[in-house]
Copies of this chain bind each other. A is one copy, B any other.
Amino acid sequence: MWGGRGSAEDDVSEVGTMGEAGTVIEVGTEFVATPIQAGDEELARVAYNADGLVPAIVQRRGDGKVLMLAWMNETSLRRTLETGRTWFWSRSRQELWCKGETSGDRQWVREVSYDCDGDTLLVLVDQEGRGACHTGNVSCFYRSFGGQAGPATS
């Protein structure tokens, strides 16, 4: 069920699937907001640290590329779920920020998971624009130890 769409200019979508021998790879991207209804019981499972924060891994839907890690407080998590866009807490600036609000490199949330201990979040997104990293790279993880470039297979 789709709802809470943004402005008309955000409503750009491209959907496709391809698979082989039982493997279905979702390659579609949807640059539309899809709010997630979360209950208070679920939200209470999140274990924030002493600073009221929890790390949020952002992963691209389709190819599973890990794009970045940023921090959320309870307000930014609720706003992420309600708006279908990624909201984080900036520890350096001490303020909420919405990814891509100024750069245009928006993240459209498709799913938010929490781990067994509730102390880490995993946010599945469709990434709009150049990518997630302020350096211009698609992923913030563009360098690997041993002098290699970033992950080739993820």
- Partner-B contacts on A (CB < 8 A): 18-21, 23, 25-26, 36-39, 42-43, 45, 55, 57, 59, 61-66, 68-69, 81, 111-117, 120, 122, 124, 133-135, 137, 140-148, 150-151, 153-154
Q: Which residues of B contact A135 (CB under 8 A)?
A: 116
Q: Which residues of B contact A137 (CB under 8 A)?
A: 116
Closest to A146 in B: B36
The 10 closest A-B CB pairs, nearest first, are: A64-B64, A115-B140, A38-B145, A113-B141, A64-B154, A69-B120, A113-B144, A122-B141, A116-B140, A36-B146
Cβ of B59 and Cβ of A66 under 8 Å apart? yes
